Amino acid sequence: MNGYPRSIVDKVNHELKKKKKQVDITTLNEDPVATAIIPYVSTMSERIRKILWDYGIRTSFKTKTTLSKLLTKVKNPTSNENKVGAVYKIMC
């Protein structure tokens, strides 16, 4: 039990089983007619998912930061002083 009281473990286990049954029942009874892909915002996205599900619309979430966006800029940008062939400021 990792030091947790037995009553708390039983309560959490019961809630998880209850949620799983609810999800299984809704996914078996209705097939979504469309899919909406929306950006993930912590609490708002789940609320939108529930509303859209009532209308038969499946919801998928996307994030702003993807692995490809993080890995595409592997080179440090060149400073203006180190660029060759361009004039950035003329001293008068």
**Domain spans in the chain, listed from the N-terminal domain onward:** 1-30, 31-64
Distance CA 23, CA 25 (A): 5
How remote is the C-alpha of 45 from its chain's centroid? 9
What are the residues whose beta carbons fall under 8 Å from the beta carbon of 32, sequence distance 6 or more? Answer: 53, 56, 57, 58
- What pLDDT shows up at residue 45? 87
Grouping H, G, I as helix, E, B as strand and the rest as coil, residue 49 is: helix
Weakest mean pLDDT among 15-24, 39-48, 65-74, 77-86: 15-24
Residue, of 60 and 68, whose pLDDT is higher: 60
pTM of the model: 0.40
